[in-house]
Structure formats: C-alpha cells, structure tokens
Chain A
C-alpha cells in the first residue's frame, strides 16, 4: 500500500537521487502515518528519526493533494513539532526547509520559542506557517492568545521530539495538557500523534502516556540499530583513600589532553555549571595550545555565544567543548567522535545518551571516556559497564495529578479565550496525568483560581479568574500579562544579568550566589574572571579582572540522584572488591578497599553496613544502603524519626548516593540489640507521614510548586520596584500555609509529590525489607572510613529532625558554646 502511493513515489525518487536509502523503521513509520495511525518511534539520535515522522507527513500530504501539492500551500498549520530544546529548533528547521525546497512544496517552517523575535511572531500571526517548531512553554503561550483555536483548528500531525526527556517531568505534563486541548480544538479531522524517544526501560508506558488523550493504542516502531559503545575509565596514578567529591577530577585534567588531541572533536560533559567553569580554566592552564580551539557551553551563558559554539562545532572549528546537560540532547554534531564524562552520570540511560553524542555515522563506534571526580566513582564506572552489557536501562515514571501545572494551564486558558469548565474537565480527564482527578479536587482547583482559598469574605478582594456567562476568564490586563510572563515549569532561582561596566552582556547568575559576594570580589563566568563592581537593579556590573584567584559560582540546580537501577548493580559490584580484580577500576581501588576493610568492613550485596563514629563534630551513625540519594533522603528521615522515638534527640542528616549520615550532639542509641527493628516495615505508612512532617521534607518540593502554581511572583524588568510589594520567599509561604491553611491544594501537593516520588510506600517497603533481612554489620571505626568520608564532609543540603523541645535545644546550644 505504501509503495503504491504517489507520495511514497515522490519521496523515494528524491531519496534515490541523493543516494539515500530509508531505514526499515522509517518506512514502517511512513506506512503508519499514511494509515492515519499514531505511535512512538524509538530511535537513537543521529539515524534519521526526524525524517521518519517528517517525511511520513509529507508523503501523506502529497497523497491528499496529488495534483496540487506543489502549486498550492494549504495556508494553515499542518504539522506541529514540539521539542524540549531551543538549540534543536534551528537544526530541524534547516533540515526541513531543505527538503521542502528540493521537493518544491511551498510550505513555510516557523520556529516559536523564547528566542523568537517580536517581528517574527507578528509575521507568524499574519500568516501561520505550515510547520511550527515549538517548545512546550511557547505552545502554552499560544494557548494564552485570544482566538488561538484558529491557529490550531486544522493541525493534522503533532510530533513530540525527545519524549523520553519530557515524560516524567512537569514539562511533559504541559505537553499532555496541550495535546488534550489541540484535540479538543479540531474542527473535523482527528490528529495523528507521534512521539520520538530514545530507549528507556518503559517504552510501552511512554507510548501509553503520550497517546492517552487520543484514546488509541498506537504502535511502537523500533529502529534496530546496533550501536557499539566503548567505555574507558581514566585511572588516577594515585588513589586517595579519602575520596572527596570534586577534588580528584581536576588533578586528572592532564590526562585529557592526549585524548582531545587524538580526536577530531571532543565533548566534555560536566555535571554542574560551576564545575564546568573550573574545568574550562584548568584545561586551558595545562594545555595553553588549545586556546581558541576549546569552548564552554552551559545554560547560563548568553544565547549568542552558545549559538556560536554550536555553529563552530558543526563547522569543525573546535577541538573540544566543555559542556553540561545543555548539549545532552538531540543535536548531532557530526565532527564529534569522542565524549568524556566527568563524574558519575548517575544513570545508565543518561550515560548511553551521552555516549551517543559521539560517532554518529552508521557502523561507527561511540567512544566514551569516564573520568572520576572521586575515587569511589570508579566503582560506579565498573557498574555502568556491567549495566550496558546487561542492557539494564532505567524507566521514567510519568507524573500524576500535578495540580500546580493544571492551575497554571487553567489560568492560561482563562487568559486566552476563556474556558468552559465541563469541556475542559472532560478533556483533561483523557490525559494520563489527570485521568483520576476527582470531582472534589476539580472543584477545589476552580475555587482556588476564582476565590483563592480561605478568606474573610467581606474584607476580601481576591481577583484572578472570574466567571462570565459560564466562561472562566481573566479580565484584568495586568494579571493576564503577569501570567504570560510566568508560563513554564522550569523553576530556577532569581537570575541576574551580568554585564560589563562599559556595556556587553556576559551571562546570567543566580541571585543567591551573587548576594554573598562583596564589591571587589572576583568570580568566574563564561570562562572569564570578573570583578564585581556593583549590583544595580537586576544587573550585576563587572569589570575584567586579572586576579589569579576567583570564586566559582555554585548553581543551585538540583543534584542528580543515582537511579535505583544503577544502585543495585553498584551493590553487586562491591562484591568484587579485593576478590575479583579483573576490572581495572576495582583493581586500582585496592588500597582504598584495604583501608575500608581494616577500619570497618566492605559491605557485600547481602549485607548492610552501619558505622558509628565519634568525632569533634559529634556522634555519627552511617548507613550504606546504596539506593541513591533520593531514597536515602527518605530512609534517613524514617530512621531518624524512629530513633528519636526512643529518646529526645536532634539530628542533622546528610546523604550521598551510597549512604547517609545521622549526626547528633549526643550518643545515638543504636546497637546490635535494636538495630534490626529500625528497618521493620510495620507501621511504615504512619512513620513515613510523621517523618515527612518532622523533617519538613516537602519544603523543597513546595518551592517549585509555588512558582508553577503562581504563588510566587518573580517580577519582571522595569516593574520590579512596584512588584517588590508582591514578593515573598517560598520558605515564608510554606510557613504561612503550614500554619494557616494546611489543606491548601498546592501546599498538599508538595506533600503528595514527596509521597509519590521519594517516599513511595511500596518502594521504601521493598528497600527496608531487603535491609531488614540482610546481615546487618554494626562497626565502630576509630576514624572516618573511606565510605564515610565523602558523606560527612559534604555540608550541603542537610536535613534535620528533632524530638527535643525547641526551648531545650536553644539552652543546650548556649551551654555548649559557653563550655568551648
């Protein structure tokens, strides 16, 4: 059937002329699109996944208009291409335009995202392009325009690129909601919906989530492309027994130079923006000959500079680029043949994705070098290699009932043409995320946007969404404008622009970081040393500095957690320590393992190691479940809560991917006689709830929810002075809601998200159960062990939990201070 169609003939001829041969998965996709089907294409980057869906829509279009496809443009939007990354849009646009030109199809391709100029927007408004490449945020912004249905009423195809990256995040929920609306706006035909995804553990579910609003099963089309991956660990000459996160890596910079020099182009992935600045500097210091041939790329660098780096990579002008997740996705830089991963990638899927940035051509090998930032990460490298052999790739859990995103979406619709509550309820219930929303919850949400929770009726002037003739609308221009400025689900700290005194934009920086500096301090941004002159309005004014020492900014961005999947493999990898030294990573850590074994024990995968250590800081209880930071946060709170029931005691809690630490100023009452009971799964549910409350764990979740749900007004340029009267911190709002309106729907969501994502009962139950039944080893090392060291020295993001009276704690602190 495909072969007989006119469209296929046209495309096939064009491909043959260029000596291209379609992959099997591409032809399968075309066939499906021709039949009006929907589904998910599973293909790695760099093997024509864009063409699978895009050419399919062209084939179908030619079939629909066999005689006039070249003479007449449809004049309205045909294909909506949703992509999470701005950087991808230009690439895709160029590729599509080239095809359309050669096939002489008179379509236009438009890009719509945060970088689109006002004039371009106006042009798109006057004449809607046939293809629109858009980010989820910009799509919602379009939904906030009056008469937006005229833009979308005739869309035939919707493609969602990088769906594996969107699903499981609130941006994914944004996409789900937009799709329900797109379907709702169609005048006659139904939409064909295609997701494009890299491999994840739950592809079937990914497809189900995406296609839910269509109420179709759809199909998965897999590209069977066997990609060879070679992983090499860079082994330090000298292994420190006390692995301090971040300190080892820089010393290994010299070892990167030969790799860079032997490669065509190299991408160096660094986990945080702050460290990427340090690495860029260090590489230039050890290899000054690379100046001009090496660049830096991360999300806080100004867009023009980023675009220049991307173009230079394409044009083979760069030997190496130091980057963060900003270059993780999608973009194919053909000249790149080597990837270096600095520090743990924390998960198998991400590791593979980064490896895939190199060696794009069919049959080429992806080469990846792993450089540990502390010596224990070598164990992770060994575990990752094993995971790749066993093809153990993580799943991504879809998010459920994100009321903050829903509230934002409803306000978006209210700013646009307004909405009818029943219609929209029916639509959102088709989405995977909101399928199970109850009438009570829905009513509460409508009340929230129209009446704003609890108020003193006659003294209240709450005003946001109003109901006019049965339609929910925003009537205030000011509120509408403010809402449009805040559409989105990526929450970052307040960012300030960094500019030179004499003009010239360098990048952006978190207010949190800059507020701790004094004028005259020197910091590093975009690879330059800058001296802070002053902060004026929302700008940080700087001048160049030649100072040798500078402060590297810390970006508050969340720290990634080791996936449970990798954690399990990691536990098995520890079995090999000092026993099976066939892998170089394990062998090189021999000395470290010996120290660990001498001071304490090396935990095997059927054992749980617990260490109790006394130091000048107090009494440490260390537990090593190897379940990843996220699970450890939950588990440490439960354990702390349970111990605090034995006697009044206060804890400061720290964790990393291997284990966690409970630190107290008094001896911790845990020993062989009661340790096992701490992992008992009886009363788990109640203990989870109580420990969340005592450790105020939902506080951090609340911050994002408050921003997305419109409780935090971040202000915008020019108006910020007046806006200051509307500003409050998430911590303050949390306190106010906790005390005065604890059943507020957004406040409750912070709690719920925590319960679902981190404190999920059955996952915790399984983990605790495993620990309960493992052989528990309680050791009392005389000093910090190699496993304990990185947890104890890491002071960031500590939680706390206490069963002592606040007044008593204050008095005790005063006494301790007067003694010392």
Chain B
C-alpha cells in the first residue's frame, strides 16, 4: 500500500488513501463509501456470471486498510450492501465477527435495503440520514440538505466521482477521485465493480485523482 497523504480539513488530520478511503486520525475513524458488498453475488444469483473475485478483493482491501490504520471506528457513508441479502453477505458477516472490537456505523444509502435486524445482528449502527461526529457530518447523498441543527463539514458518497483530464494531442484520461469543496468531500466508490460520474475542477475545489496506486492532486 502506498503511503497515504495528509489532508487537513479545518483543524482535523485526515489521511487520504489511494485505496479509496479516508482515515480521520482525531477520531480514529476509517471512512469508506459505496462498498456495494454483495453486488457480484446479486448479479450471479440472477444468472449474470461476473467474477466474484472483485468482491473478495474489495473485502481484502478493506481488511488491509483496517490493519494499516488500526481505527476504532469504521464509518460507511452509504451503499454498504448492493441489494437484498445473499451468500456473499455471509462472508462479510464472518469477517465482521473477527473484528468485534471495531465500532461500525452505516449512514444509509439508496442501496441499503436490508432489514433492521440484520444490521443489529452484525453490530452495525445505522443512521437513517445523517451521522454527526465532532465537527463532521456524514450523509450518503452530497445533495443532502442540512437541517439547521446539523452543522459541520459534510462527507458523502453516492456519486462515484471521477475526473477527466485532457492534454495536447487530443489526449484524454479518466480516473476515480476524491472531490473536496470548502465545506464538503465526496469520496470515491470503494468497490472496484463500480463506474464513475464526471466532476469538474473549479477554482475553489480540490481534486485528488487515483492514478494506479497513487494520489495526484489535479490543479487545473
């Protein structure tokens, strides 16, 4: 794993990883978005033979991040699971039972349709719309409009942001990315079995493109 880069949000220490995660040091929290676990299983159950290795590797990558940062808390800002329950979730559950010390919070996304008790059984604290922690708030959809009593920097997902670069000689490249404004951050989709939606570089936002295993800040 390449070394994460430090990105300060207000006075908070955040580490951005090219493995599509943020480690928030002050609260010892690992933040992910759009993991879409169970997606390959959902496809396969419906007769579409996509390789399950994607899921396996996504799960492995999450474990690597957990053992690297050793967080006390895992926050997923939505779309933890792709669809209804399937056997792939059993593998997830098995993993969960090995990390009982880890607090896990899910801010519900549009794909999270499992029954409440499933989350309870696996010690996942579910927030329906917004989760507030210190100076940060978490919501799945970046368009989420804050109520007056919810304040702070917003971390979200849902969009699967990607950035397009063009250069001389009609060259074009496209990468998944982290997208920051002064008041918010949209995380890249953690799942490798996911597409991207293009965001544009503007004057007062910051974009980190994920280029192979490296993060490169896009300045133009």
Contact assessment for A806 and B212 in the assembled complex, using a CB-CB cutoff below 8 Å: yes
Q: Which residue of A lies closest to B110 (CB)?
A: A724
Find chain A residues with CB under 8 A from B214 CB. 807
- Which positions 774-820 of chain A face chain B at CB distance < 8 Å? 795, 798, 800, 806-807, 809-814, 816-818
Determine the chain A residues whose CB is within 8 A of the CB of B43 once the complex forms.
726, 728
Q: Which of A9-17, A147-155, A308-316, A461-469 contacts B (4 or more CB under 8 A)?
A: A461-469
A736-B192, A741-B53, A809-B173 are known contacts. Are A816 and B168 too (CB-CB below 8 A)?
yes
**Which residues of chain A (715-734) have a CB below 8 Å from chain B?**
725-726, 728-729, 731-733
Among B82, B172, B173, the most chain A Cβ lie within 10 Å of the Cβ of B173
Q: B171: CB under 8 A from chain A?
A: yes
Q: Name which of B44-52, B61-69, B120-128, B149-157 contacts chain A.
A: B44-52
B49, B55, B83, B211 interface centre (most CB from chain A within 10 Å): B49
CB-defined contacts of B170 to chain A, threshold 8 Å:
617-618, 652, 663, 795, 798
Which residue of the partner chain, among B48, B49, B87, contacts A726 with CB atoms under 8 Å?
Answer: B48
Which chain B residues numbered 198 to 218 have a C-beta less than 8 Å away from chain A? 209, 211-212, 214, 216, 218
Q: Is A452 an interface residue (CB 8 A)?
A: yes
Contact check, A456 vs B165: say whether CB atoms are below 8 A apart: no
- Check A461/B169 contact, CB under 8 A, given A713-B48, A740-B57: no
B134 at the interface (CB under 8 A from A): no
**Are the C-beta atoms of B195 and A729 separated by less than 8 Å?**
yes
For residues 632 through 681 of chain A, which have their beta carbon under 8 Å from a beta carbon of chain B? Answer: 650-652, 663-666
Q: B42 contacts which chain A residues (CB < 8 A)? A: 725-726
B interface footprint on A114-153 (CB within 8 Å = 1, 0 otherwise): 0000000000000000000000000000000000000000
Docked complex Cα distance between A302 and B219 (Å): 49
Once the chains are docked, how many angstroms separate the CA of A310 from the CA of B202?
A: 53
Q: A448 contacts the other chain (Cβ, under 8 Å)? A: yes
Minimal beta-carbon separation of B35 from chain A (angstroms): 15
Q: Is the CB of B167 within 8 A of A809?
A: yes
The residue that B167 contacts in the complex, of A456, A665, A736, with Cβ under 8 A, is: A665
Residue of A nearest to B49 (CB): A452
**Distance of B109 from chain A, by nearest CB (Å):** 13
Q: Judge whether B212 and A462 touch: CB under 8 Å.
A: no
Tell me whether A347 is interfacial, beta carbon within 8 Å. no
Interchain CB contact under 8 A, A736 and B171: no
Q: Which residue of A lies closest to B214 (CB)?
A: A807
Which residue in chain A gives the minimum CB-CB distance to B45? A461
Name B218's closest neighbour in chain A (CB-CB). Answer: A814
Interface string of B137-178 (1 = CB under 8 A from A): 000000000000000000000000000011111111101000
Contact at A800–B168, with CB atoms within 8 Å? no
**B7 CB within 8 Å of chain A:** no
| A residues less than 8 Å from B111 (CB atoms) | 725
A711 within 8 A of B: yes
Q: Is the CB of B216 within 8 A of A731?
A: no
A619 in the interface, Cβ–Cβ < 8 Å? Answer: yes
B48 touches A710 (CB 8 A): yes
Q: Are A462 and B44 in contact (CB under 8 A)?
A: yes
A479 within 8 A of B: yes
Q: Given the complex of chains A and B, what is the CA–CA distance between A725 and B57 in angstroms?
A: 20
In Å, the complex CA distance between A812 and B211 comes to 14
Chain A positions within 8 Å of B41 at CB level: 459-461
Shortest CB distance B70–A (Å):
27
Q: How far is the CA of A531 from the CA of B198 in the complex (A)?
A: 26
B86 on interface, CB distance cutoff 8 Å: yes
Q: Which B residues are in CB contact (< 8 Å) with A733?
A: 50
Do B53 and A740 have beta carbons less than 8 Å apart?
Answer: yes
Q: Is the CB–CB distance between A455 and B52 below 8 Å?
A: yes
Binary flags per residue of A595-628, CB closer than 8 Å to B gives 1, else 0: 0000000000000000000000111000000000
Would A460 and B87 count as touching, CB distance under 8 A?
yes
Is B169 a contact of A665 with CB atoms below 8 Å?
yes
Given contacts A618-B170, A619-B169, A652-B171, contact A461 B86 (CB under 8 A): yes
Residues of A within 8 A of B57 (CB): 740
A261-300 interface mask toward B, CB cutoff 8 Å, 1 = contact, 0 = none? 0000000000000000000000000000000000000000
Q: Find out whether the CB atom of A650 lies under 8 angstroms from the CB atom of B48.
A: no
Q: Are A813 and B49 within 8 A (Cβ)?
A: no
Q: Cα distance A104–B91 when bound, in Å?
A: 71
Interface centre among A737, A741, A744, A810 (most CB of B within 10 A): A810
Nearest B residue to A817 via CB reads B220
CB neighbours of B168 from chain A (8 A): 617-618, 665, 813, 816
Question: Which residue from A456, A713, A807 sits with its C-beta under 8 Å from B211?
Answer: A807
Is the CB–CB distance between A737 and B167 below 8 Å? no
Q: Which residues of the other chain, A, contact B167 by a CB distance below 8 angstroms?
A: 665, 809, 812-813, 816-817
- Cβ of A201 within 8 Å of any chain B Cβ, yes or no, is no
CA distance A713 to B175 in the complex (A): 25
Asked whether, in the complex, the Cβ of A813 is within 8 Å of the Cβ of B192, the reply is no
Q: Is B118 an interface residue when CB atoms closer than 8 A count as contact?
A: no
Partner of B44, one of A452, A483, A652, A795: A452
Contact call A736/B49, Cβ cutoff below 8 A:
no
Pick the contact of B220 from A451, A462, A818 — CB < 8 Å?
A818
Q: Are B171 and A813 in contact (CB under 8 A)?
A: yes
Give the distance in Å from the alpha carbon of A479 to the alpha carbon of B47 in the complex: 7
Alpha-carbon separation in the docked complex, A482 to B86 (Å): 20
Q: In the complex, which residue of chain B has the Cβ closest to the Cβ of A447?
A: B49
Specify the chain B residue showing the minimal Cβ separation from A480.
Answer: B47
* Nearest chain B CB to A6 CB, angstrom units: 54
Q: Are the CB atoms of B44 and A732 closer together than 8 Å? A: no
Query: 26 interchain pairs (CB within 8 A)?
Result: A453-B49, A460-B41, A461-B45, A462-B44, A462-B47, A650-B169, A665-B167, A710-B47, A713-B46, A725-B82, A725-B111, A726-B48, A732-B193, A732-B194, A732-B195, A736-B193, A737-B51, A740-B51, A740-B57, A795-B170, A798-B170, A800-B171, A810-B216, A813-B165, A814-B219, A818-B219
Chain B residues close to A by CB (< 8 Å): 41-57, 82-83, 86-88, 90-91, 111, 165-173, 175, 192-195, 209, 211-212, 214, 216, 218-220
Extra 13 A-B pairs, beta carbons < 8 Å, given A740-B53, A744-B49 = A459-B52, A650-B169, A725-B83, A726-B42, A726-B43, A726-B46, A733-B50, A736-B51, A740-B51, A741-B51, A812-B167, A813-B168, A817-B220
In order of increasing CB-CB distance, the 5 nearest A-B pairs are A452-B49, A618-B169, A665-B168, A464-B47, A813-B167
